[in-house]
Copies of this chain bind each other. A is one copy, B any other.
Amino acid sequence: MDSIGVKIVVIGGGTGSFTLLSELKNYTHNLTALVNMVDDGGSTGVLRDELGVLPAGDVRQCLVALSTTPKVRDLFNYRFDDGGMKGHAFGNLFMAALEKMTGSFAEAVETASEVLSVKGRVEPITLDNTKLVVRLDDGTVVNGQHMVGSLKIPAGQRPWLDLEPEAHINPRARQAIIDADLVVIAPGLLYGSLAPALLVRGVTRALNESKAKKVYVCNLVTKPGQNDGYRVSDFAEEIERFSGTTLDYVLYNNHRPSDDLIERYAQDGEYLVEWDEAELERKHYRASGKRLIADRAWVNTNASSDPLAAQRSLIRHDADKVARELMRIYFS
């Protein structure tokens, strides 16, 4: 099979997905991004509340990542800073207008894809209007993705997650999974982004029906209060719990950045995800440790007024390296 025809499905939503997609699109013309639909904060949350539309934020960013037209791409990420539209990303308004006009979020995604000259496809994992609910052992209930960000989970506990009301898989997302050669679960917030995609009813069945190799790309750092002390195998275990399927591969970083950088992250309570090699070797999946951290990474200065921010180094995936490792796994 010609490598550019490899059918790759990326499941996620959030920055980890966006950067990975923007590189993976160079390796196949058959790329599908499946995006969680639980965003209810910021511009997206306001539009959900005011207009009753589905959450467009993560879909927009995946579309932008796959776009081949720089000007329209920048436009979709442009945020109004004044007036009644203040704080809204233009692309969110684009999607909202189309959904209101046509009554169909799927059609909105399709038109946005055309306008952005998207290479590949973006599919909402569900077209049902649903919210993320997290329950802890002590009876705490957290409603809405935007509330989950600040949730503290007691050490040693694993939270219970649900979508309410129950959400069913978008048939086109289902078909993409079934037809895929490679299904990638992208790095991203475990409880805020990945679980809400995997928990959609029908995803487990589609994953189990699919002949695709299933690969999880593990996060680089922990989220404070949510994944403290999680090692690579813990992340993978949670992914298997939510997806109801067994992973074939786990791809993780095994390069330690400078002490300086690690120290800076520690001040925010974020720690490098440790690779527990002995444990990983006993697993049913193949764990592949590589140097996946970008040598230098810059934050997006667009949203920042801090002139130093542009030069600050960060612990980020080298997305092209990850993409190439994924292709290697596919061909292995």
Contact = CB atoms under 8 A, between A and B. Distances in A.
A273 interface: no
A184 interface: no
A56 B101 CA distance: 21
Nearest to A108: B75
A51 B90 contact: no
Given A75-B101, A90-B93, A82 B115 contact: no
Contact of A80 (B81, B97, B111, B115): B97
A46 interface: yes
Chain A contact patch, size range: 20 to 34
Interface centre among A46, A83, A98 (most CB of B within 10 A): A83
A51 B83 CA distance: 7
B90 A97 contact: yes
A81 to B, nearest CB: 8
Interface string A37-58: 0000000001100110000000
A75 B114 CA distance: 13
Contacts of A83: 46-47, 50-51, 84
A74 interface: yes
A75 B51 contact: no
Contacts of A100: 78, 80-81
A214 interface: no
A101 B74 contact: yes
Contact of A115 (B51, B93, B115): B115
Nearest to A80: B97
A165 to B, nearest CB: 23
Interface of A: 46-47, 50-51, 71-72, 74-75, 78, 80-86, 88, 90, 93-94, 96-98, 100-101, 111, 115
24 contacts: A46-B83, A46-B84, A47-B83, A50-B82, A50-B84, A51-B80, A51-B82, A71-B111, A74-B101, A75-B94, A75-B101, A75-B111, A78-B98, A80-B96, A80-B100, A83-B84, A84-B84, A84-B85, A84-B86, A84-B88, A90-B93, A90-B94, A90-B97, A94-B94
Listed from nearest, the 8 A-B pairs whose CB atoms lie closest are A50-B83, A84-B84, A90-B97, A78-B101, A78-B97, A51-B82, A50-B82, A51-B83
